[in-house]
Amino acid sequence: MIPKKVIESIEGYRITIHDRTKSKEYSLQEIFAVNQDNLIDEFAQQASTYAYFASLQVMADNNSDICKLGLEQERAAADIDARAEMEKDGKKYTEAVIKGAIDLDEEVSKLSSARLGFEYDSKLLKAICNALEMRANMLVAMGAMLRHELGQIDLHNREKNLDKSVKELDKVLSKKG
């Protein structure tokens, strides 16, 4: 049995993911977009978004491993069948002929294609996870920049208040003197 592919389709900037029992379409632009007006939500959602796509990558890797095991078993069975068929017919064969017969086996071919599909899913999901890590780093940098800007505004306000206090003190002292 070949498990269902994790990534069902990619069309432009949209990706359709098969998550065990359901399929869902995502816009890559929506996944990576940052709402600068609400960085708190962006920080809060980042880890769960990363975890979701990382778990899909693990699922694709697992599907690839399952396929690899099935492929090895099917190759062994096809090897036995090919050798038996050629010996029954009294044909001489080389290892290259046997390998060719194994590669032409229908089940071996299906499993090989399925495995390539799962490896593709895994690589694409790894790229998405790497991009989400970059997004997390960018969010941290944006947060630091925002804190710095707020600190500068606070410092400016303090300076204005200090200047105002100094001027008021000067007025009070000039009236007394």
Residues in the chain: 177
Q: How many domains does the chain have?
A: 1
At 42, the pLDDT band (50, 70, 90 cuts) reads confident
pLDDT of residue 152: 72
Strand order in the sheet with 7-11: 7-11, 14-19, 22-27
More confident residue, 108 or 154: 108
- Kindly state whether residue 161 falls inside one of the protein's structural domains: no
pLDDT value of position 73: 95
Least confident piece of the model among 26-35, 60-69, 108-117: 26-35
Residue 33 dihedral angles phi and psi, to the nearest 5°:
-65, 150
Q: What is the pLDDT of residue 11?
A: 61
At residue 149 the predicted structure's pLDDT band, cuts being 50, 70 and 90, is: confident
Instruction: State which residues form the domain around 107.
Output: 7-138
The shares of helix, strand and coil residues in the chain, as percent rounded to the nearest 5, are 80, 10, 10
Per-residue pLDDT at 177: 62
35 within some domain = yes
Q: Is 155 contained in some domain? A: no
Over residues 55-64, the mean pLDDT reads 92
Q: Per residue in 73-129, pLDDT tens?
A: 999 999 999 999 888 888 888 899 899 999 999 999 999 999 998 898 899 899 999
CA atoms lying within 13 Å on the CB side of residue 31: 26
In angstroms, the CA 134 to CA 145 distance is 16
Helices 106-176 and 39-88 cross at an angle (nearest 10°) of 170
pTM of model > 0.85: no
How far apart CA 27 and CA 96 sit, in angstroms, is 47
What is the signed CA dihedral for 25, 28, 30, 32, rounded to 10 degrees? 140
Helix H or strand E segment including 10: strand 7-11
